[in-house]
Structure 1
């Protein structure tokens, strides 16, 4: 029994000594941390002050850049990119300065090196997204279209609703929204129906071989002058073929709107006015006329 009590006392002493050593190590560590914090307290306060003031100034710089760009720079997409870059660079400078005060600049350098490697890996993984952003930047410089203009890209046609760095949004004539990646926009032909402010319609038809051709031409040109929106100075009436029973003609008409619905209404009105004028003047139309829609180009 005495031996058992002796062993128990020895084990208790060992546990107590180990616990005492552990508490001493914890106390030393806490004292080291407290002394380190006290020693770095001025630097911590200065770094915190730099972060607060720096972020405030970065926001002011961003707002100032936005106001200046809105006045002198009319490309909103590219302007937003420049503003974002200015803000990110300013925040980066503030953070790096604060870390340097805390003697953590080597840590941030190592982190940036690691981030660079990760960035390269992400660039390969998301190269399609990166291609869309780069295409958006190039489109911002070229500016082949603006918001509100009627355009056609591949099989998509409509009004430009929104232009962003990653994609372009069209609203079709049926009221549908189409989001096209800027890579597709950049790599394909773009037809802008609005930019020139006019568009051409080719009207073809035929009159009887017994008709007075000079009268046909005069009646047609006079009828076109009554159609609002037709640019009569650039209208051309041409006889182009002698068929079996008709003499075929073509009228090259420029209308003062490149957008689809006004344009369709224009050449519909042209056909109505010409047909009525021919009938009123006794000019026979053996076959119905047809309209051929063409892109904006000079005759």
Structure 2
């Protein structure tokens, strides 16, 4: 019994001594690993601030800037963790950690497929120079001013002050018309004049009214004027001209102003803008027999 006890005690002492020797042997690596982690932590803070300042020169959205800065910090810390594990000769642990991270990342990616798609789409939209906050755009049946682009959605403010929130993925996958990329817009006006009107006079008068109303239209010949059809009660025409504008509101104001001035000029010159008229003509007299009336009454 004493021999077994002494043998077990000796094995315990040998084990503890081996652990102690191993600990003493790995203390420098452990200290170096701690230094690596501390260095990576402070480096992550510095790099996060640097990346935030660098990205702010190209991206106005605070949410996107913060997200990119945080991702850069996480990458630096993760890199420091891998280096620290390598310094401590924990290669197997490093391999297991990478494998586990891959499996977890795949599971999260499948579970949050739609969310991640909107996130990456938001990052792509933020770096696009042709889409900026304040632009007037039209997409997926909505038109308005771009108010915000974040990691989730794309926010528009319509002309009637309604806020429209559209997923980033939808914006990226559908056509988008940006009116703010050009400083000029074409205004279309469709109208009709009576058949008794002098068509050449109407054309000349309309062109002169547009040229005198808008500073951007220097000459009457810059206005395009085309008669389009013989309508039911009028001869219709299409008038179009260019103005300096960057939003649909400016275009609508210009069209309104043009219609008002054209109406004033037509009233002054006695030019008629007819509205659709339906004439009912009863030339044929219908003869109704009394027998027919009795039959109709009996049916009712």
TM-score scaled by length of structure 2 = 0.73
Q: Which residue of 2 aligns with 1:46?
A: 32
What secondary structure, in the 3-state scheme, does the structure 2 residue paired with 1:173 have?
coil
Whole-angstrom CA distance in 2 between matches of 1:149 and 1:238: 32
Q: Is the 8 A contact 2:216 2:244 kept in 1?
A: yes
Aligned residue for 1:201?
Answer: 187
1:227 aligns with 213
Hey, what does 2:144 align to over in structure 1? 158
Is the Cα contact below 8 Å between 1:229 and 1:256 reproduced in 2? Answer: no
Cα deviation, residue 110, structure 1: 0.7
Deviation at 1:106, TM superposition (A): 2.1
> How far 1:187 sits from its partner (Å)?
1.9
Structure 2 unaligned segments of length 5 or more: list them: 277-300
**Structure-2 residue corresponding to 1:11:** none
For 1:89, which of 75, 79, 83 is the aligned residue? 75
Would the aligned equivalents of 1:145 and 1:192 in 2 still touch at CA under 8 Å? Answer: yes
| RMSD between aligned residues | 3.6
State the 1:45 CA deviation: 2.3
TM-score (norm 1): 0.74
What residue number does 1:282 align with?
Answer: 270
- SS across alignment from 1:114: helix
Write the distance in 2 (CA, Å) between the matches of 1:175 and 1:25.
82
Which residue of 2 is the match for residue 296 of structure 1?
none
Of 154, 161, 165, 1:168 maps to 154
2:235 equivalent to 1:247:
yes
| Residue 107 of structure 1: how far off its partner (Å) | 0.4
Distance in 2 of aligned mates of 1:26 and 1:149: 76
Distance 2:90 2:217 in 1: 72
Q: Which residue does the alignment assign to 2:165?
A: 179
Listed one character per residue, the Cα deviations across residues 158-187 of structure 1 (whole Å, up to 9, x for unaligned) are 211122344212223343433321111122
Give the alignment of 1:108-123 within 5 angstroms.
108-123=94-109
Match of 1:297 in 2: none
SS at match of 2:148: strand
